[in-house]
Amino acid sequence: MHTDLLSSLRLESSGVPIYVQLREQILRQLGAGVLAAGDQMPTMREVAVALKIDLNTVRHAYDELERTGAITLVRGRGSFVAKPPPVTSARAQQAQMDGLAKQVLATAANMGIDPVALAHRITALAKQKE
């Protein structure tokens, strides 16, 4: 199943760090439903071999994905797509949204993307999903 995820990953020489490209592509694939909550992720070694990149680069991306709650790393078993968190209070959800927004803004700034244009694009994509 995770061969779909592996085959969809592509790295570019855009100046964006490889671990960031990898992290963002995996997040997009998870959002698209390529893997569902609880599914096992490809191993870090499988990703490193498939993309011909250093294992530590993949580890960095996976660590970031775990930190953001997208995946869960289980020592000795592998990495799994995280189950959605339980419903949180409005204040906690606001804090999560602020953190995510700041992360997106930093990534956009790093890529030279206008944040207002990005916000419009996010709105358009959200409407398409409805």
Q: Cα–Cα distance between 48 and 96 in angstroms, integer?
A: 30
Residue count of the chain, please give it.
130
| CATH 1.10.10.10, the chain: domain bounds | 3-81
More confident residue, 62 or 2: 62
87 or 39, which is more confident:
39
Asked if the model's pLDDT at residue 2 lies above 80, the reply is no
The number of helix segments (H) and strand segments (E) in the chain equals 6, 2
Q: Token digits for 8?
A: 């969809």
> Residue 130's pLDDT band (boundaries 50, 70, 90)?
low
pLDDT tier at 65, thresholds 50, 70, 90: very high
For residue 42 the two structure tokens come to 């490809």
Confidence of residue 3 (pLDDT cuts 50, 70, 90): low
Least confident of 59-63, 89-93, 116-120: 89-93
Q: How far apart are CA 111 and CA 51, in angstroms?
A: 22
Fold topology of 3-81: Arc Repressor Mutant, subunit A (1.10.10)
Contact between 44 and 127 (Cβ < 8 Å): no
pLDDT number for residue 110: 84
Residue 63 in contact with residue 45, Cβ under 8 Å? no
